[in-house]
Amino acid sequence: METSEIRRLIALEDGHWWYRERRAVLRRELRRLARLGRPGRALDIGAAGGGNTRVLVEAGWDATATDSCQAAVETARRRGLKAVLADARELPFERESVDLVTAFDVLEHIHEDDLAAAEIARVLAPGGHALIAVPCDMALWSAHDDAVGHVRRYGRDSLTVVVEGAGLTVDRVWSWNVLLRPLVARHRRRSTGSDLGRMPLIVNAGLSAIVRAERYLPVKSLKGVSLFLRARRGR
């Protein structure tokens, strides 16, 4: 992703419904992991300004943000987070050194996504977990994907193949932003560039409420705008 897009993302991530509701997904997953044991060391790949990294820290994890953009790393550090400039295909961390890796909207930017997945598997300790989010379905490809530097959008099978090919065991794959998919599809057909931008407060609140409703509806097996995947490294 271009530095300009990273800066735009950083400016939006605290209040924008998309990023706020994805942090809610992360919090729910962290509560599930908390039942399995105490928080350990975490690595947030492609962290931008560290919005998700802060969630990890708040949940008790010893978290480090990484990004390939210097501006993102500097922003995370100004926010009091540990942050490292790093390429997801060659992480500067020792083998089996972390207990949790998060990679939200990372793999779709990398031609060699298999190398990034292999690095996630390499740095995970036995029994460690990975939480991955990607945009789904090439049918939704638009000028937005071009503008933000996407290489691909994933299907459940293609994402699973990459993660399992790295040696991880996939526990669950589910769709997110299902209810808004028709609206997003219509908007993307007309888009001429990045969707990242501020919106009226009432619109932001309304979209957030719709996505929150998915927590209580049996829609996670349907097609959405994004896919989440949870995987683990065997002991």
Give residue limits of the domains in the chain. Answer: 3-232
Q: Length of the chain, please? A: 235
pTM for the complete prediction? 0.93
Question: How many Cβ atoms sit within 10 Å of the Cβ of residue 164?
Answer: 14
pLDDT tens, 153-191?
Answer: 999 999 999 999 999 999 999 999 999 999 999 988 887
Q: Which CATH superfamily is domain 3-232 in?
A: Vaccinia Virus protein VP39 (3.40.50.150)
pLDDT tens digit sequence for 20-72: 999 999 999 999 999 988 899 999 999 988 999 999 999 999 999 999 999 88
Average pLDDT over the chain, rounded to an integer? 93
pLDDT range class, residue 5, cuts 50, 70, 90: low
